[in-house]
Amino acid sequence: MSRLAPALSRFRSLRFSGKNLRRAKDLSRRSGGTPTQACLALCLLSTVALAQDRLPTIPPDQYTPEQKKAAEEFEAARKVKVFGPFEPLMHSPEVMTLTRAMGDYLRYKPKIGTRLSELVILINARLWTQDYEWYVHAPIAAKVGIAPEVIAAIRDGRRPTGLSEDEEIVYDFTTELQQNRRVSDATFARAEQRFGKPGVVDLTAISGYYTFLAMQLNAARYGIPKDGTPLPRLPE
């Protein structure tokens, strides 16, 4: 019985739908029908359920008038249909629209340029272990000129070597802001001298914007496509 205790404890802490219970019973019968196998089947099903989106994509034919308007504005601005982090945000179309509008600037027209912006996005994706952000933006970062070894180091949780001066300023500013919740005088001064006050505001805003998206995606358990590889899980 002691070997069953962890599985039984897991079982007692979960709620199962009638459909999942029937599936678990069927699975246990196929595998021999022992209590251990039944518990393991239930735990497996619960794990699969937990991995599913908490804020699933809303089919367009089920949009409310507000959601339909938000989707139309999104498509007009981005020239594509609602995708990625904006799918869970569609559950609050007002938030989605405001988020999209801010991203229209920060994603495409930041004062620090899109190459350095992509570096900020990768750092944030890594620090938040946000698989979808990484899945989308690592190829973009490579395309706009971030070196493969820099991308690999960030992915693995290491400080990259061989950074350009601009990349080093952005890396230090972003990691200090995320990890310390503050930026040192020396780091701020370097960023301001290089990018000016408007650039520092944009640099901070990009980090904040993609932190917000990472929080939304992580809270929703938004998955990555089948061809994606999750980020390595780093020690908490």
Tell me the DSSP string of 65-92: HHHHHHHHHHHHHHSS-S-TTHHHHTTS
> Across all residues in the chain, what is the average pLDDT?
86
Nearest to 201 by CA among 74, 134, 112: 112
Residue 179 has pLDDT above 50, yes or no: yes
The answer to whether 209 and 106 are in contact (CB under 8 A) is yes
30 phi, psi to nearest 5 deg? -65, -30
Q: Burial of 129 by CB count in 10 Å (0-12 exposed, 13-18 middle, 19+ buried)?
A: middle
Question: How distant, in Å, are the alpha carbons of 57, 154, 234 from that of 124?
Answer: 24, 10, 14
Nearest to 146 by CA among 188, 116, 104, 103: 116
**Per-residue pLDDT tens digits for 51-84:** 568 999 999 999 999 999 999 999 999 999 999 9
How many CA atoms within 13 Å lie on the side-chain side of 38? 11
Question: How distant, in Å, are the alpha carbons of 18, 46, 61 from that of 27?
Answer: 14, 13, 35
> What is the reported pLDDT for 43?
43
> What is the reported pLDDT for 11?
38
Q: What is the pTM of this model?
A: 0.78
pLDDT confidence of 14, banded at 50, 70, 90?
A: very low
pLDDT confidence of 33, banded at 50, 70, 90?
A: low
Q: What percent of the chain has pLDDT over 90?
A: 76
For the chain, how long is the longest CA-to-CA vector? 70
State the Cα torsion 116-174-85-218 to the nearest 10°.
Answer: 150
